[in-house]
Amino acid sequence: MTRRCDEIGAHMSIAGGLHHALERGRELGCGAVQIFLKNQRQWAAKPLGADEIRMFHAARRRTGIRRLFAHSSYLINLASPDPSAWAQAVTAFTDELERAEALGLSCVVIHPGSHMGAGLEPGVDRVTAALDETLARTSGCRVKVALENTAGGGNSVGRTFGELAALIDRAARPERIGVCVDTCHLFAAGYDLRTEKGYREAMAECAATVGHRRVLAFHLNDAKAPLGSGLDRHEHIGRGSLGLTPFRLLLNDRRFARVPKVLETPKEPEPAADLRNLAVLRRLRRRLGR
């Protein structure tokens, strides 16, 4: 088993059962794991069984992995202008929050969605309404929503920290909402993290809008596309347009020392790709004496 850094990990497959994701994470030395809660390409799924929940909690105790959270289905579009699609998205996201609560996860990451040409402000309003509805339906739950910043392509909502802050500020239950910061998406949206100055400016904007304490998770991904491209194309750490500097700065930023940071880099070859990327992150983390 590989040496573990408590806040660093990767997105793990749930093939064969949710609990297997934790076993896979342990083999890689993960201290943090992100999972899908069901087949993310399908709307419907059978309810979690008591045995599934029991095995997941047992695996959590056995592996010692404490930082666990989920990513929602990519089918869900909380910004949809179509009433039927919007209602379907709300129902699906409610189900995901309930599943995450049963498993004891800290948060569920979700892309705010696409306004599909209806305009940013109407899109923000629909996302806010969707968040209000899902959080009302899960009022007895502790699990939080982590809004992920987008790469900025097409009609996406949530490209900037300011847009994410607007969603939180307008929500009826902001205490259950935070953000997940994706490094590739930041770069694609125009945040130049390749220098210390650029990194500091981006994090200062985060502090002034969202607030550092609302950062619930990070997705650590290099970028295949150039700065400001709007393209969501992940690359292995240090092999893309970002380089190593932003990851070194982030991993040694004490403000985020306890925030889980997971890879969403290409999996092929598996598991060698994750092992290599995690090894790079661990080396960067040690350089400043951490």
Measured CA to CA, the distance from residue 118 to residue 124 in angstroms comes to 11
> Using DSSP, how many helices (H) and how many strands (E) does the chain show?
9, 10
Match 């994410």 to its residue by tokens. 164
pLDDT of residue 271: 82
Is the separation of the CB atoms in 106 and 70 below 8 Å?
Answer: no
Catalytic residue selected from 176, 232, 248, 274: 232
Catalytic residue selected from 95, 96, 133, 148: 148
From 25, 87, 95, select the one nearest 56 (Cα to Cα).
Answer: 25
Domain hosting 165: range is: 5-286
Is the separation of the CB atoms in 8 and 282 below 8 Å?
Answer: yes
DSSP 34-102: EEESS-TT-S--PPPPHHHHHHHHHHHHHH---EEEEE--TT--TT-SSHHHHHHHHHHHHHHHHHHHH
Measured CA to CA, the distance from residue 110 to residue 148 in angstroms comes to 6
Match 């997105």 to its residue by tokens. 11
pLDDT of residue 290: 42
Q: How many domains does the chain have?
A: 1
CATH code of the domain in which 95 resides: 3.20.20.150
Catalytic residue selected from 24, 234, 248, 285: 234
Catalytic residue selected from 41, 61, 254, 258: 41
Identity of the amino acid at 239: R
Q: Does 96 participate in catalysis according to the annotation? A: no
Catalytic residue selected from 71, 99, 126, 214: 71
Query: Could you read off the pLDDT tens digit of each residue along the chain, which spans 290 residues?
Result: 555 568 999 999 999 999 999 999 999 999 999 999 999 989 989 999 999 999 999 999 999 999 999 999 999 999 999 999 999 999 999 999 999 999 999 999 999 999 999 999 999 999 999 999 999 999 999 999 999 999 999 999 999 999 999 999 999 999 999 999 999 999 999 999 999 999 999 999 999 999 999 999 999 999 999 999 999 999 999 999 999 999 999 999 999 999 999 999 999 877 899 999 999 999 999 744 44
Q: Does 196 participate in catalysis according to the annotation? A: no
Q: Is 236 helix (H, G, I), strand (E, B) or coil?
A: coil
Measured CA to CA, the distance from residue 114 to residue 92 in angstroms comes to 16
pLDDT of residue 269: 76
**Longest pairwise C-alpha distance within the chain:** 53
Q: Is 147 helix (H, G, I), strand (E, B) or coil?
A: strand
pLDDT of residue 289: 45
Catalytic residue selected from 11, 67, 185, 285: 185
Q: Does 182 participate in catalysis according to the annotation? A: yes
Q: Does 264 participate in catalysis according to the annotation? A: yes
pLDDT of residue 268: 86
